[in-house]
Structure 1
Amino acid sequence: MSQTVFAPWENPEEKPLIEFRNVTKRFGSFTAIDDLSLDIYAREFFALLGPSGCGKTTMMRMLAGFENATEGQILLSGQNIGPIPPNRRAVNMMFQSYALFPHLSVWENIAFGLKRESKDKEAISARVEEMLRLTRLTKFAKRKPHQISGGQRQRVALARSLAKAPKLLLLDEPLGALDRKLREETQFELMDIQEKTGTTFVIVTHDQEEAMTVASRVAVMDEGKLIQVATPDVIYEAPNSVYVADFIGDVNLIEGRGTTEGERIRLDWAEGQPPIWATPRGPVDTDRALTFAIRPEKVSIAKDKPEDRRNLLEGEVIDIAYLGNISTYHVKIAGGQIIKAQTANTRRLANRDITWEDRVWLSFTETSGVLLEH
């Protein structure tokens, strides 16, 4: 039985849950969001990713109702939410600081928003118990926030945010306060909870790995504009610009002049060096400077010259980063450029044959990199 792929953005019949329509937000003379249009669909786990000051938090604050758009409209389920105050929107926001009440127990923290809506006690109790089960906090219900760990406090904040069953949950750098290992565990918990509740999550983060792990789609932003909006695999394997390639993960960027030869493009990148051959993924204008982007894990490294590869670069190992499961070799090639090659550490350290100052050959296939125009 094949599982249907979740991709509502590919279905023209599907109506988005959130629509940004030509939204601009100015603070005085500074433009934080610049004529931005974006659709986000129900049940998505959507990530807004970019460096500090790119506008991602401003977008989230406009969804929450803490800021109003200077121009354009934001629609939720087809309704313009501009005039609707924050407490009347079917939107909840979870802050980086969690903002838990220190004097209330975990149970009371989760119940807080429900009590303010004065529902009957049984309904509140049933909902709180359901949230405790969902976030695996049942046995901590009577504890105060200072008596539980950072990861558990994070789950209390999540349970409280989800208790009122919002259509949309906004998460502002939600895992920023957690250590790396706990962050990774919590990312999978977030995905699991999001799937179980069916709530649409929009997460703001500057952590590329986090966005790539949790999100159904990622919007990479820069200076108030969307640079690329796509699924994580497309963002990584087929970035639409040098900015996106460079922002997401590790990448080697080699600049040169391109010439079309049949179905391939020949990139001349350094005087007296063999060209790089690449297979473009779409039409490429070769009358301009091009950048060849290739991920380190797609570059092979060897002491002996491989005979079967068309793309070969010779260089010298100047640095080795050992990361346990992988090693990254920094190799200086013609013109002084550094290229990174990554290998999986299947052998013990003592048995590895490449070390500092070795002359090595780097090789890669014609389809392993992408050509990007400037």
Structure 2
Amino acid sequence: MPETAFEPWNDPTAKPLIQFRNVSKRFGDFTAIDDLSIDIFEREFFALLGPSGCGKTTMMRMLAGFETPTSGMILLDGQDISPIPPNKRSVNMMFQSYALFPHLTVYENIAFGLRRSNMPKDQIDARVKQMLKLVQIEKFGARKPEQISGGQRQRVALARALAKAPKLLLLDEPLSALDKKLRQDTQFELMDIQEKTGTTFVVVTHDQEEAMTVASRVAVMDHGKLKQVDTPDRIYEAPNSTYVADFIGDVNIIEGHATVQGPTVAISWAEGQPPIIGTPSKPMSDGKVSFAIRPEKVAISADKPTDRNNVVRGKVLDIAYLGNLSTYHVALADGTVIKAQMANSRRRSSRPFTWEDEVWLSWTDTAGIVLES
């Protein structure tokens, strides 16, 4: 029997672990969180994503108990957690700085919270060893934090946060201190650990790639509001606004006026350019729209394609060589610059197009997203 997909948010009978109900948080005249409602389910790896100042850290601090909602309610397992102090919640937080005790060994750092909760000594030893094994640092138990690498310190902080088996683990920019290669490796390890423990993880990050890699669902935030909450593939392929399309990955956004033609729309957008034919995801009427298309969905060729409606001509303005692929910035006659991406299947010296080349760009009727402005 194939495993059923983990999608409790699509199950009307599933009970959320965390519920934000009309939560607002104000600091004086500044509204950090604005009437926000959201459900997060048990065993989710949930990412709060957005630029600095969007409210994601305030949401996390309210879950941890370091901030109290100005209005609204936060429920954990059906219980209002506002009156419960941070140390009495079944919630743990892993800080960006790791906040390890420098004078304690790795073993003692992990054992610290367990000793405070009066766990029997033999159980503490078994639990610490279990945590050291889980995060693969058994060899470093006797070392002090300054005697291990940044990546290993990150694992110690994770082990300490998981030691008391919280229902919910909050991770604040957990990988920001690591270099790119280590960060990518650790993303997969985090997912593995989350799956093994079954703990619900809520991660705050401004790194789109990180959120898209680790999360079961992503909440894209802006100015204290949720712009879209969805699975990573839906956020990327079917953004609900130009803000989300623009925030996640690379995208071309063209403003224009749509005329409905059955299942498609014709978008007039620039003097002397043919209308763009797009396929909206829902019924719409004539009017102002934004057309968003990812560079990898734009084909670039030397000859004019004859099998597509959407074909424009331009000149290569710039080339960003990214190893496995190249991004071509192509300027059209009206000044619009469109990015197209091509995989580098051959060596760099034999790249098909170079600066100033005249090229054709094309895409299918369903390649882009039509968004009402």
Would you say 1:317 and 2:328 are equivalent positions? no
The correspondence of residues 236-315 of structure 1 with structure 2, limited to 5 A, is 236-287=236-287, 289-315=288-314
Please state how far the C-alpha of 1:7 moved relative to its aligned partner: 0.2
Amino acid corresponding to residue 358 of structure 2 in structure 1:
R
Distance in 2, matches of 1:117 and 1:243, equals: 45
Amino acid corresponding to residue 217 of structure 2 in structure 1:
R
Please state how far the C-alpha of 1:349 moved relative to its aligned partner: 1.6
Map Cα deviations across residues 102-129 of structure 1 (whole Å, 9 max, x no partner).
1111111100000111111110001001
Map Cα deviations across residues 69-96 of structure 1 (whole Å, 9 max, x no partner).
0000000000000000000000000000
Map Cα deviations across residues 258-317 of structure 1 (whole Å, 9 max, x no partner).
001111100111112111101111122322x10100000000001111111111011100
Please state how far the C-alpha of 1:243 moved relative to its aligned partner: 0.2
Please name the residue that 2:137 is paired with.
137
Please state how far the C-alpha of 1:352 moved relative to its aligned partner: 2.0
Matched-pair contact (CA < 8 Å) for 1:279–1:367: yes
Please name the residue that 2:199 is paired with.
199
Root-mean-square deviation (Å): 0.7
SS in 2 for 1:67: coil
Amino acid corresponding to residue 366 of structure 2 in structure 1:
T
SS in 1 for 2:107: helix
Distance in 2, matches of 1:102 and 1:335, equals: 61
Distance in 2, matches of 1:113 and 1:192, equals: 23
Matched-pair contact (CA < 8 Å) for 1:285–1:373: no
Matched-pair contact (CA < 8 Å) for 2:259–2:285: no
Give the TM-score of the pair, scaled to structure 1.
Answer: 0.99
Distance in 1, matches of 2:333 and 2:67, equals: 52
Map Cα deviations across residues 122-141 of structure 1 (whole Å, 9 max, x no partner).
10001001101100010111
Distance in 2, matches of 1:147 and 1:130, equals: 21
SS in 2 for 1:51: coil
Structure 1 stretch 335-344 or stretch 54-63: which is displaced more?
335-344
Amino acid corresponding to residue 79 of structure 1 in structure 2:
Q
In structure 2, the gaps of 5 or more residues are: none
SS in 2 for 1:151: helix
Distance in 1, matches of 2:36 and 2:188, equals: 30
Please state how far the C-alpha of 1:25 moved relative to its aligned partner: 0.4
SS in 2 for 1:113: helix
Amino acid corresponding to residue 290 of structure 2 in structure 1:
T
Distance in 1, matches of 2:199 and 2:285, equals: 43
The correspondence of residues 1-80 of structure 1 with structure 2, limited to 5 A, is 1-80=1-80
Please state how far the C-alpha of 1:350 moved relative to its aligned partner: 2.1
Distance in 1, matches of 2:127 and 2:315, equals: 63
SS in 2 for 1:335: coil
Amino acid corresponding to residue 263 of structure 2 in structure 1:
E
Matched-pair contact (CA < 8 Å) for 1:270–1:334: no
Distance in 2, matches of 1:353 and 1:193, equals: 44
Distance in 2, matches of 1:211 and 1:73, equals: 26
Amino acid corresponding to residue 297 of structure 1 in structure 2:
E
Please name the residue that 2:361 is paired with.
362
The correspondence of residues 119-134 of structure 1 with structure 2, limited to 5 A, is 119-134=119-134
Structure 1 stretch 333-342 or stretch 195-204: which is displaced more?
333-342
Please state how far the C-alpha of 1:335 moved relative to its aligned partner: 2.1
Please name the residue that 2:97 is paired with.
97
Amino acid corresponding to residue 286 of structure 1 in structure 2:
D
In structure 1, the gaps of 5 or more residues are: none
Matched-pair contact (CA < 8 Å) for 1:330–1:339: yes
Amino acid corresponding to residue 93 of structure 1 in structure 2:
M
Structure 1 stretch 120-129 or stretch 343-352: which is displaced more?
343-352
SS in 2 for 1:21: strand
